[in-house]
Structure formats: structure tokens, C-alpha cells
A = this chain, B = another copy of it.
Amino acid sequence: MSYPRQAEGFQVDSPDTYTDFHKRFFQLKPFGDYDVDIKIEACGVCGSDVHTVSGGWGDQKFPLCVGHEIVGHAIRIGPKVTLIKEGQRVGVGAQSYSCGSCKQCQNENETYCPHLQIDTYGAEWPDTGIISQGGYSSHVRTHEHWVFPIPEALSTAVVAPMLCAGLTAYSPLVRNGAGPGKKVGIVGLGGIGHFGLMFAKALGAETWAISRSRAKEADARALGADGYIATAEEGWEKEHLCSFDLIVNCANSSKGFDLAKYLSMMDVHGRWISVGMPEEEGQVIKAQNLIANGVLIGASHLGSRREMLEMLQLAAEKGLKGWVEELPIGEEGLREAMQRMKKGDVRYRFTMTGYEKVFN
């Protein structure tokens, strides 16, 4: 078998031209003892991809190939790799490296490592000048800690979005006690939120979808929601005062968001955890807003390797499936993905597929 020296992928050159993808070769990082080379077969389209290429999150290192919900097969294994076998179907998510030795990394908080975090795309590999490139491409090269075996029961296209969106929803649920006897809300029924509903229910929590209108109610209930709150309706928060143990805020925008009303629904010391990173300015929070029920406000960043493996196992056992629309990888498919993601025209995730036709 021949190993890749380069990968070939679709890059964007600037925020002004973020729907124009250019197929190019680019360099992979030097192959390390713990690295795994993966031939990519599918990649989900994450909101982060759009924020990144369209400039919403500020300056990026262009040209850039995005995509961090990667599924493929391991085709080469470094000499010290023990977690992955050659030929195994595997996934890669949004983060690809951390220092590995600090308290946080040792404590299953590697996504919060304060020393080194290499994102799957757009980060510079130390001492190389090489910028990491994502999964709209033929191959990725990733340290084994960040490569996850995919259970057989989960299909490639459907599992791909779990690698970022799924884990992003799953980690704050399990870290904040979602389970039997708990009332959990999911705000924002998009890519992350639809996994949130699915996982909250699978974990045994009383699960509520919280969305602006009732347009997505049937979907929410099909995904597992026990109840539905439409915030466009007058007095929507009233019957839920002081009752939620946890709300995971997956909304992609904070515009027109009356946070105080949401917080009034939290039980004493309940947790309001945000996983979206809106492009707008934040919200003004006064101690007075938090004191009525001692609510805790936080944010969550991806999830640990252990959580990823547990989530995939849970999905395999319970037959959980993201709602995925497949689009063909390529200039046209990626343009459509970006345009429709920007409009929110997706229920609830795109996966780019057809890699074998495009890369050789």
C-alpha cells in the first residue's frame, strides 16, 4: 500500500469567496509515531465550517480546507499506536491534538487543555509552519488519541455529524447530570440541538425542545422530545418556572434572546450551558439575573475521548441516528452546503459523501 505524502482537498481562499472551493494538493504534517493516516469517505458539514470560511469568527489562515466530522478507514498506523488498528473504520472530530501531559489532559479534559489545542483545521502544527486542513479532502493524519473507532452498527454518512455536533451535545448532558428524574431542555433545533434531544432522551431525562415557533415540533417529538416550548408564544416560560435542571443552549444566534426568561425556568442551581458560539456580541448579565434561583451559566467545548466512545456506543446500542442529507463532495456540493447552512436550510445535518469518485 502506498502512503499519502500529500492530501488533496477543497479549499476556500477568503471570506469574500467562501462558497468557492478549489481542489488542491496540500502538505500533511510529518508522520509521527502515534499518528494514523485516514482515507476519508465522508465528512459532516458543521456550523463551525461556515463561521470559519465566511469570516464570522474573525481572521483565519487561508487558503483553508474545512470539515471536522470525518469518517474513513485507517490506512497507516504509527509504530507506537495501540488504540487503532490498520483497516479499521474510524472518525475524527474537531480537535486533533493537545499537550497530553497537563492536569486537564490527564483528567479527561483534553478539550480544555490550556497549553496546546490543535483544531482539525486552521491550526498551525508546532515547529512546522503547516496549517491543519480538514475533511473536505482525501486524507487526514491524526494522533491516535483523536481517532475513534466507529461501531459497526452506525453507517458512515449518518455517524459523521456525531463526531462534532453529536459530541458537542452529548458532553454537557453527561457532565451536568442529564438522566432519569431530571428535566432537560434543548434550545435551538439545528445540527447540535437535534442530537441534544436524541441523547437527552436516550440518557433517560425528561426532554423538552425549546424553539422559536412550532414549525419543528413534529421533528422534535420524532427525535425524542417529551415536550415542546415555542418562545414566540406569550408567557411561554410561565408554566416552567424554577423547574429545569439543565438547559443546553444550542442556538446559533443570540439576537433578540431574552435570557432572563430562559433563566427563570431553571431550578435552583440548575445549569444553563451554551454550546453555540454566536457571531454577535454577548449578553449583559447582572448578578441580579442569576440570584433568584442561583442558576449557573456555563459553556461547553466538544467532549473527551472517553465521552466520544461512550456516545458512539450509546448510539449503536439504541439505534440513534442523526438526520442527515447527503451531498456530493466537490465544488458544487460544497457551495450548496455553505449556502444552505447559512440560511439554516437543513434538517438537520449535511454529510458530504461520494469521496471515492472525486479523490484517487
Contact B268 A291 (CB under 8 A): no
Min Cβ gap A89→B in Å is: 30
Q: Which residues of the other chain, B, contact A287 by a CB distance below 8 angstroms?
A: 274-278, 282, 299
Residue A222 lies at the interface, judged by CB distance under 8 Å to chain B:
no
Contact B282 A289 (CB under 8 A): yes
**Residue of A103, A114, A287 ringed by the most chain B CB atoms within 10 A:** A287
Q: Which residues of the other chain, B, contact A276 by a CB distance below 8 angstroms?
A: 287
Q: How many residues of A contact B (CB 8 A)?
A: 38
Contact B281 A282 (CB under 8 A): no
Interface residues of A in 192-213 (CB under 8 A from B): none
Contact B283 A242 (CB under 8 A): no
Expressed in whole angstroms, the Cα–Cα distance for A35 and B114 within the complex equals 55
Residue A360 lies at the interface, judged by CB distance under 8 Å to chain B:
no
Residue A241 lies at the interface, judged by CB distance under 8 Å to chain B:
yes
Q: Which residues of the other chain, B, contact A109 by a CB distance below 8 angstroms?
A: 268-269, 294
Q: Which residues of the other chain, B, contact A294 by a CB distance below 8 angstroms?
A: 109, 112, 298-301
Given the contacts A269-B298, A287-B282, A292 and B241 also touching, CB distance less than 8 Å: no
Contact A112 B300 (CB under 8 A): no
Contact A282 B286 (CB under 8 A): yes
Contact A288 B277 (CB under 8 A): yes
Contact B242 A104 (CB under 8 A): yes
Expressed in whole angstroms, the Cα–Cα distance for A271 and B276 within the complex equals 20
Residue A14 lies at the interface, judged by CB distance under 8 Å to chain B:
no
Contact A269 B104 (CB under 8 A): no
Expressed in whole angstroms, the Cα–Cα distance for A268 and B113 within the complex equals 9
Q: Which residues of the other chain, B, contact A358 by a CB distance below 8 angstroms?
A: none
Which A-B residue pairs are the 4 nearest by beta carbons? Answer: A282-B286, A290-B299, A296-B298, A274-B287
Beyond A284-B284, A292-B301, A296-B296, 4 additional pairs, beta carbon < 8 A: A175-B269, A271-B296, A277-B287, A294-B298
Residue contacts A-B, CB under 8 angstroms, 14 given: A109-B294, A114-B292, A275-B287, A277-B287, A277-B288, A277-B291, A281-B286, A282-B289, A283-B285, A284-B284, A284-B285, A289-B299, A294-B298, A296-B296
